[in-house]
Amino acid sequence: MSMSDWYEIARRVESLEDVPLERGLIADLQAAHAAQTGPGAGAIHFYTPTFKSFQTSEISGCGKNAWPAVSITAGDCKLQCDHCKAKILEPMIPARTPEDLWRVANEVIAEGARGMLLTGGSNHRNEVEYGPYYSTIRRIKDEFPDFRIALHTALVDDDIARCMEQSGIDAAMMDVIGAQETVTQVYHLRRRVEDFERSLEALVATRMKVVPHIVVGLHYGRLLGEWEALAMVRRHRPAALVLVVVMPFYAPAKRPFATPDAGAVGRFFFDARTALPGLPLLLGCARPPGTTKVQIDAYAVLAGLNGIAHPSDGTVELAARLGRRVRVTPACCSIVVGDEVMALDGAGGVEVDLETILADERARRGGTGLGRIPVVSEPATAAGGGR
């Protein structure tokens, strides 16, 4: 292919026809593509809660409570970070005591849940005070060994990481922040960037599947510490990395966030893929809406990311037109932060006829299908693998 072909291929996708895309960035992404090696280098997984027109009994039966989110502090958080203001906790199931957590776990399991995201608001040191809950988590895992628990760890030390491991936590997630200004100004923390790296190091030393997140544009919509965060991940090599793009819906008027530039986000995807060859990279569902989301999703496909939660219209078609091996897994989560967990774990995924799904996507836009685009359907498996 010539260096301009990927740009022209993107232009042939109906949903991308009028979307501004940077030709130079796409050329760089195509030039780097040949160097991508290792298992899964050519595969991409799309995770979506449902399909708007296409339905099967398996998909329609994959309920919204398959991966509920539970907060041990309900909606309380001491930090009140500028991009969140604790609002993300409010819709979660509260479990303010260990007894509440045991009751909630039994209730959601009885309703068919396959796992849960366990989180909570932080104290002033960006620590979630899980201490009283570890024995209950262990009890849940002993009683229901197939029930998966993913934990948002916040900052930890070696002892706390070991307690999490011994309690039976399956996946540990934390935000990695690489700029001191962001830690101080956005998170309102008196902690150092080094504390985030030490926490990641402590978690990776356990048997848990460690899945850090980098929030692109976290410094009021500007990229600042993302490359240092990427360097931390490279030094400590977790099971996978989730990239999300800041969505500051609750930012105060006195500290507004800009919408991150989609081209800058795309170049960071390129840098992440280059820095972490062979490591599963996933785009979580948090990213700005509208045209920016469509651009970001296209760059994620072109950069060689391994998975995308809630893809925009045309994103699956673009991947297929580029000859990538495409899989679709229904990710059924009751709240957006759970989608990354489902994406990484693959639990409950069903194999779907991708040609039908892609044709359905075109039909929703009034098209006539994908013609002779080659699509490979394989069983849905964990994008992140195991440690």
Specify the pLDDT at position 123: 94
Could you tell me the pLDDT band of residue 377, with boundaries at 50, 70 and 90? very low
pLDDT tens track for 182-226: 999 999 999 999 999 999 999 999 999 999 999 999 999 999 999
Average pLDDT over every residue of 140-166: 96
For the ranges 60-74, 93-107, 154-168, 219-233, the lowest mean pLDDT is seen at 60-74
Could you tell me the pLDDT band of residue 45, with boundaries at 50, 70 and 90? confident
Average pLDDT over every residue of 48-71: 55
> Is residue 353 over pLDDT 50?
no
> Is residue 180 over pLDDT 70?
yes
For the ranges 129-133, 218-222, 227-231, 327-331, the lowest mean pLDDT is seen at 327-331
> What's the alpha-carbon Rg for the chain, to the nearest Å?
20
> Is residue 372 over pLDDT 60?
no
Pairwise pLDDT comparison (129 vs 332), residue with the higher score: 129
Pairwise pLDDT comparison (208 vs 254), residue with the higher score: 208
Q: What are phi and psi of 145, to 5 degrees?
A: -60, -25
List of long-range contacts for 290-297, beta carbons under 8 Å, 24+ apart: 291/19, 291/20, 292/259, 292/260, 292/262, 294/15, 294/16, 294/19, 295/19, 295/20, 295/21, 295/262, 295/263, 295/266, 296/245, 296/262, 296/265, 296/266
Average pLDDT over every residue of 52-65: 41
Specify the pLDDT at position 84: 80
Could you tell me the pLDDT band of residue 311, with boundaries at 50, 70 and 90? confident
Specify the pLDDT at position 68: 87
> Is residue 50 over pLDDT 50?
no
C-beta of residue 243 within 8 angstroms of C-beta of residue 213: yes
Cβ atoms within 10 Å of 362's Cβ, excluding its own: 19
Specify the pLDDT at position 359: 67
Mean pLDDT across the chain: 82
Quote the CATH superfamily of domain 67-260: Aldolase class I (3.20.20.70)
Specify the pLDDT at position 358: 58
Pairwise pLDDT comparison (211 vs 1), residue with the higher score: 211
> Is residue 174 over pLDDT 70?
yes
For the ranges 214-218, 224-228, 249-253, 354-358, the lowest mean pLDDT is seen at 354-358
Residue intervals of the chain classified under CATH 3.20.20.70 are 67-260
Could you tell me the pLDDT band of residue 36, with boundaries at 50, 70 and 90? low
What pTM did the predictor assign? 0.86
Q: How many CA atoms lie within 13 A of 280 on its CB side?
A: 27
For the ranges 75-79, 133-137, 174-178, 346-350, the lowest mean pLDDT is seen at 346-350
What does DSSP say about strands 241-245 and 213-216: parallel, antiparallel, or unpaired? parallel
Average pLDDT over every residue of 266-287: 93
d(CA 39, CA 32): 17
Strand partners, 215: 244
Strand partners, 115: 148
